[in-house]
A and B are shown apart, each in its own frame.
Chain A
């Protein structure tokens, strides 16, 4: 079952890429992406959300000599991210033009990315993960370099170098873990006790190496410097894949390998991680305020939102880890919506400059629906309740508060700064007076509206019914917390009480 998620898009990519005289590349890719999405959704029915271990495992021995095996599985952490991957792939393919340059290569590469990322999320072997993690570089590099903006070669090279270094460090960390713990293979279910027996200082060093590796991918300040250039120069579709899905590989790695494999060292480093997270959050928000290019603004906002995930993981409470998973998915959806809408605005209006944009909410000559969706997307990112961004951020805050009171409060302040730059963005693009001379923009067709509409609908739905988002992960994250030993600071004056059961006379509603 899980293999299909890897092989169907891959075979599809080969088909789309190499089938002679294929004219309808988009249609074919869309069909494959739809099938993958349906299979991913069917996983939710098969998945048992009450247990914490790996499910639907598959195993094939591959190269036993070096400990590489084809072992797949899915748990409450990877399932939502798998779904996000399949869904955003579908959105990206649907949202791309059929007559894009070199369309067959383009759609084939998207499918390859989808396949490889799914592989990374389901891999249960460290080497297999690295394999997928590194493979994903090639299609993304090509997509940035071929369909990117003006400085695309610079951006693509920057992305390649940074991510390659990230992969190298992660590989180093994995080797260290396996050899020092004396394990025979690279499977995830290697002996956790053996890892725990590595001396703590060594563990901390390994963790630091892994953290830098995944920190580049996520990205965390100060390892983020590739992100603005790459997100901005990439075409909107690639930016959605990068920010919506690939950045999640970084946070997934943080949870799966750093937190889960090295819980002792993680507990040791958690105050430092909390501080780095808070700096990321504040830094992302502040730099976003200074931007005049809306795409760059959204790109910087992404840095801040990834910081929340790290804060939650550093705090390591049951609530905060669920919040972290929720934040990964919600950030993926919201960022995809924002990048998509920014892309629509750029193609229709011809600029991304805040100083040139104006009054797009105008119902006759502007882009009213696009602007409305942009307002909702921006507000979701700023954490307005009723939208999915709020509940994830709130769980992060509430979960982290007992461990890091001050840092959490700083992050709440930063979420206010998020509102500042989104208000700047919305005020300049959607509000204001439309320029009479230039304002006859091409109409946005319904096909172009659809991806954003679906994303916004999902943002609304998961905001109102968050249990659909969160219930899959709870046993998994609880099990992770059980292995952690992060204490609330002893000098903190906050006394944690157990939550008493509601004593309200409950009347059943009709």
Chain B
């Protein structure tokens, strides 16, 4: 058995490396920090991540020619419930871990530069590593139940990671909202998980797929279960109406944002893809997915256009692209979905890296305060361009192929959805160009006056990733993952290219041209406000869900105080009161007592007669 084979068979170790790193970081809390400074914890985690990455790469090379390997870890056997964690080691799952650990390594390297001045290194890197371990375990494990466990732990991770800079009030509310929104999705997913077992008798994805093929389950029940199962990925993928958290999670440090946007959020889509065989039992659930996906795709793209915060402008595109993946799964195009996840993940990571370098030393992330950086920051600008081109349908880069494949599959059955993808692509191109023009175009403003390129810790990963994004089509080509040109509909390709060009050109005319006064205003003020404020979702939530829970809890507490406790105290009072009253009956005259006794005996005797 050669080395790569051993690594292939032990691929379940991949999540353990980052976990070891995360646990090791605990010693830097906080005693050792005074001696060594916080930085070693970051290096430890970067090294463990690199080890996981290398393990994955070598195992991947051995995995091509082999059938998937199924392992199982026994966790808990209790009553009639057997919780064994099945693990699937295949080229797909190992490739996914390579993507996760690779992006994670770049993000951690980037964080070494980005978090230079920070004191929370141990916490930050430990949480990044926790995410990495969780994500790797998620793709390797082949059971819905354990996926749920991991998703739920990552929800806690999100809370802590978003709350890293807990001194700031916005961060605290952001962490809260991120946790609770994701938790809502998780709990509905839990309902689905709990309800699925009595139906299917298993949680293993493979066996669920088998079960789905030949089961005759009540359609109403399976629709309800499917809807519950969709809710988890909806929360993770920041789909409307659970999209709010992603916006607020932008308060977290940027390296974690890179990771969140590129791998954590797509983890939800991964679960969705795994669940597709069950979901396809219910046509209503599939349509529901398409509808949610469409709303999120268009809504996210629209909102992104009106954001003045760079991170938020990009984060709504995350929701939007996840919406496209929902559409792909909802129309049973799993392969297009996976391809889209891959091309999207690397491109969005590059975009976030690029803007991160910009506002790291420009102090601001407000688009209205930045401009004219192209002359000062050509490398950041190039990275942004490459990321943008890789994300939207810009041939020959990855996004083009993924969207083309998706549209090609939609063309015959759902032409309307093709139109929707075209619109989303156009809007994405528009808003990316807008961000680019506002940051890099025009003349430098105050905040952009002194803004040199950043240090190599941030630049190096950005450039590496840029190279990867640019070469992605070639890599995919060599692995035969790209759709064959002859099988594709050329009209769709043309339409996609046109929509991209359309978006780019209109946006550049608006934001670079001299004819339109700056800052650019939408013709309709109300519409601009609506989009800029995320359809007023936070407000709606505050006035409905949050308000309702707060009022009900106050009412419950009131009932507790004044009714339940009041009743208890009333008994006490009555006792005291009756005692107080009765004490006046003891007036101390023996004759009176005697009289009472005699009368009593007389009454009893009278009754007996």
From A228, A372, A385, A397, residue with most partner B Cβ within 10 Å = A385
From B82, B206, B553, residue with most partner A Cβ within 10 Å = B553
Q: Which residues of B contact A466 (CB under 8 A)?
A: 75-76, 78
| Cβ of B524 under 8 Å from chain A | no
Q: Which residues of B contact A390 (CB under 8 A)?
A: 149, 152
In chain B, positions 136-177 with a C-beta closer than 8 Å to chain A are 148-150, 152-153, 155-156, 159-160, 163, 166-169, 171-173, 175-176
Given that A397-B194, A427-B172 are known contacts, is A467 also in contact with B78, CB under 8 Å in the complex?
yes
| Cβ of A218 under 8 Å from chain B | no
- Residues 394-408 of chain A, each 1 if its beta carbon lies under 8 Å from chain B, else 0: 110111011001001
Q: Which residues of A contact B71 (CB under 8 A)?
A: 506-507, 509
From A416, A431, A509, residue with most partner B Cβ within 10 Å = A431
Q: Indicate which residue in A379, A408, A419, A496 contacts B180 across the interface (CB closer than 8 Å).
A: A419
Cα–Cα distance between A224 and B163 once the two chains are bound (Å): 35
Are A386 and B149 in contact, with the CB atoms below 8 A?
yes
Cα–Cα distance between A375 and B29 once the two chains are bound (Å): 15
From A288, A394, A434, residue with most partner B Cβ within 10 Å = A394
Are A433 and B176 in contact, with the CB atoms below 8 A?
no
Are A474 and B78 in contact, with the CB atoms below 8 A?
yes
Cα–Cα distance between A423 and B12 once the two chains are bound (Å): 34
Are B78 and A500 in contact, with the CB atoms below 8 A?
no
Q: Which residues of B contact A289 (CB under 8 A)?
A: 549-550, 553
Q: Which residues of A contact B454 (CB under 8 A)?
A: none
**How far is the CB of B25 from the nearest CB of chain A, in Å?**
13
Q: Which residues of B contact A359 (CB under 8 A)?
A: 166-167
Are A506 and B72 in contact, with the CB atoms below 8 A?
yes
Q: Indicate which residue in A395, A398, A427, A499 contacts B202 across the interface (CB closer than 8 Å).
A: A499
| Cβ of B557 under 8 Å from chain A | yes
Given that A363-B119, A493-B221, A507-B70 are known contacts, is A433 also in contact with B556, CB under 8 Å in the complex?
no
Are B564 and A222 in contact, with the CB atoms below 8 A?
yes
SS class, residues of chain B in contact with chain A = helix
Q: Which residues of A contact B29 (CB under 8 A)?
A: 368, 372
Stretch at the interface among B182-190, B239-247, B300-308: B182-190
From B163, B191, B556, residue with most partner A Cβ within 10 Å = B556
**How far is the CB of A440 from the nearest CB of chain B, in Å?**
17
| Cβ of A53 under 8 Å from chain B | no
Q: Indicate which residue in A290, A375, A398 contacts B554 across the interface (CB closer than 8 Å).
A: A290
Are B166 and A417 in contact, with the CB atoms below 8 A?
no
Are A409 and B72 in contact, with the CB atoms below 8 A?
no
Cα–Cα distance between A361 and B568 once the two chains are bound (Å): 40
Are A432 and B172 in contact, with the CB atoms below 8 A?
yes
Are B166 and A384 in contact, with the CB atoms below 8 A?
no
Q: Which residues of A contact B30 (CB under 8 A)?
A: 363, 368
| Cβ of A98 under 8 Å from chain B | no
Cα–Cα distance between A505 and B583 once the two chains are bound (Å): 83
Q: Which residues of A contact B119 (CB under 8 A)?
A: 363
- Residues 83-110 of chain B, each 1 if its beta carbon lies under 8 Å from chain A, else 0: 0101000000000000000000000000
| Cβ of B464 under 8 Å from chain A | no
Are A385 and B152 in contact, with the CB atoms below 8 A?
yes
Are B549 and A417 in contact, with the CB atoms below 8 A?
yes
Q: Indicate which residue in A221, A401, A471, A497 contacts B78 across the interface (CB closer than 8 Å).
A: A471
Sample 26 A-B pairs with CB under 8 A, ordered by A number.
Answer: A221-B564, A226-B568, A283-B560, A289-B550, A319-B80, A361-B166, A363-B33, A384-B155, A398-B81, A401-B198, A412-B191, A420-B180, A424-B176, A430-B166, A467-B76, A477-B79, A478-B79, A493-B220, A494-B221, A496-B198, A497-B198, A502-B86, A502-B202, A502-B207, A504-B204, A509-B71
8 nearest interchain CB pairs? A290-B557, A289-B553, A318-B79, A431-B166, A385-B149, A286-B556, A290-B553, A286-B553
